[in-house]
Structure 1
């Protein structure tokens, strides 16, 4: 027995018998302090060992050296159950070649690094690393608890391609709840309906963009939830319309674009002067800009649904002339847009989550399937 190694190893009822190194690995030969083994069926305890089978189990590294534990798996024959019973070990699961703590360590490392990086540092194959991560991710699956405010959003799996993935997030906890490999409403509904009915009935608000499919999803899966069109998606739509007008009037240049789309209150004095010179060159562009700023002001100053609805209807009278299809889209969704004024619910947290999602995807070399990528996203952002 080596007291210092026993303390360092910190495994119950286990002692280090011998320790030796071979190449880049450290091997610890262990023996049990308790001579008796319990039957896993009836808990009968005996020291009459039927057979022992040595196994090697990978454990956490010590001083930068990979560690393997040499353990004898003891088997007894229970005279009461008339069955053979192999001893259960608290620190390693049946059929596994890694300790539980080592598998958890690999899981945490993969959340921060790529599979290849973990594989290199731990001297494991990429497949071994992925299998460990997937196993722990499955075990750590968490329920959604009882979220009250959700967001449905999408992102493209690959830049430049219209292959969208749907993400569901908890707005109050700023956490990712689900990633769905589809942008089709029926397929999204099928996945979300796997959640308990009681949990879905508890959702009070869902923030979405103006894609009609999301509203169908909310109605069918969250029957008690209010649909709230995210204000930032509305402003994005108007900004795009304003930018098209700028291009049609041939006011090109990134500087002009930035001056027009930036919130008026965030412009410094020099930018305000530049913007005024620009707007003076075209009354049409000036009116379009004022409409954009007026919509933002409506969002900031309206305190009730009724007030917001009245202001938006007045705004639409002028906006139809310049913004055309954009104004029609806003008018079509005006009731859900005005639901914002109840609790001022937005999908603002999704901007931060989307940034993290893109970063994780860039670091996810080795995750070749959607399911493995989904596991990593949920592991990092749940």
Structure 2
């Protein structure tokens, strides 16, 4: 722990050093991932243990913290609530959007398994009839099974970022599976709220309209996303104060992983933490 690196804007996240061992990391956004970024790196993610450590930071420094960005995990929320009492808790918009993307992918995967079953059944029937199985190819050269498999990445991207081949594949996908198109459109609508809204009041109204749309769509996975947003709506709306995200924490995690990779893994954790402290604290 390095109390002197505590700033007014912090991020909190978790990362794995080796063998899935998780550490909770608190970083100072002002340092931009360079020297002075590391505030604390604590083994484990159990809220009580992390709180005990962070409370060793002098209260006058903790009370100066105005904002902490975090993910939707309950333990992270409790840690910030107990340790940085005067700070606004800002739930990272990208974690919220990822829930919507995952809901879209769940539908795609469901259809993919169905396509696999249908193809396996068709192969079996052809074999029993003593004929060769010939799969049906779509306009772009994909089979239905391949169309669903190869559409994974385009569903994570906005339509503006599709290549010509991805646009063609998306049109075929949406033609064959209208439910995927509906789910993808709903996920884009959620992202548009974060991109275009300038205030919490406007965002609150648009989120309410988005919830109504989710209720009408009849997609169970999106109803789960909607309930999660409703539970965490205060932290999500705090994003519109300063448009702060947890990107700095994710970037810091990426640096740790790159450093770990250049070291060919972590054999001596104590020495690895010592080197991280020298670089970033």
Report TM bin, short chain.
0.7 to 0.9
2:13 pairs, out of 131, 148, 153, with: 153
Structure 1 residues 365 and 267, CA, compared in 2 at 3 Å: closer, same or farther? Answer: closer
2:232 pairs, out of 333, 338, 344, with: 333
**Greater helix share, structure number:** 2
Q: Secondary structure at the match of 2:198?
A: coil
Distance across 2 between alignment mates of 1:379 and 1:254: 45
Distance across 1 between alignment mates of 2:81 and 2:248: 23
1:377 pairs, out of 266, 276, 279, with: 276
Q: Which runs of 5+ in 1 are unaligned?
A: 1-140
Report the RMSD for the aligned CA atoms in angstroms: 2.1
Partner of 2:213: 318
Distance across 2 between alignment mates of 1:210 and 1:193: 22
1:187 aligns with 2:49: yes
Partner of 1:226: 88
Q: CA deviation at 1:328?
A: 1.5
Cα pair 1:154 1:165 within 8 Å, conserved: yes
Distance across 2 between alignment mates of 1:211 and 1:223: 18
1:343 aligns with 2:254: no
1:200 aligns with 2:62: yes
User: Which TM-score applies when normalising by structure 2?
Assistant: 0.79
Partner of 2:169: 274
2:30 pairs, out of 166, 172, 176, with: 172
1:288 aligns with 2:180: no
Number of residue-to-residue matches in the alignment: 240
1:243 aligns with 2:105: yes
Describe how 1:121-160 pairs up with structure 2 within 5 A: 143-158=3-18
Q: Deviations over 1:181-240 (max 9, x none)?
A: 010001110111111111100001111111011111111100110000001111122211
Compare CA radii of gyration and give the structure with the larger one.
1
Q: CA deviation at 1:368?
A: 4.2
Q: CA deviation at 1:146?
A: 4.5
**Greater strand share, structure number:** 1
- Which structure is richer in relative contact order (CA contacts within 8 A, separation 6 or more)? 2
Cα pair 1:145 1:199 within 8 Å, conserved: no
User: Which TM-score applies when normalising by structure 1?
Assistant: 0.59
Q: Secondary structure at the match of 2:31?
A: coil
Distance across 2 between alignment mates of 1:360 and 1:377: 9
Partner of 2:118: none
Q: Which runs of 5+ in 2 are unaligned?
A: 113-144
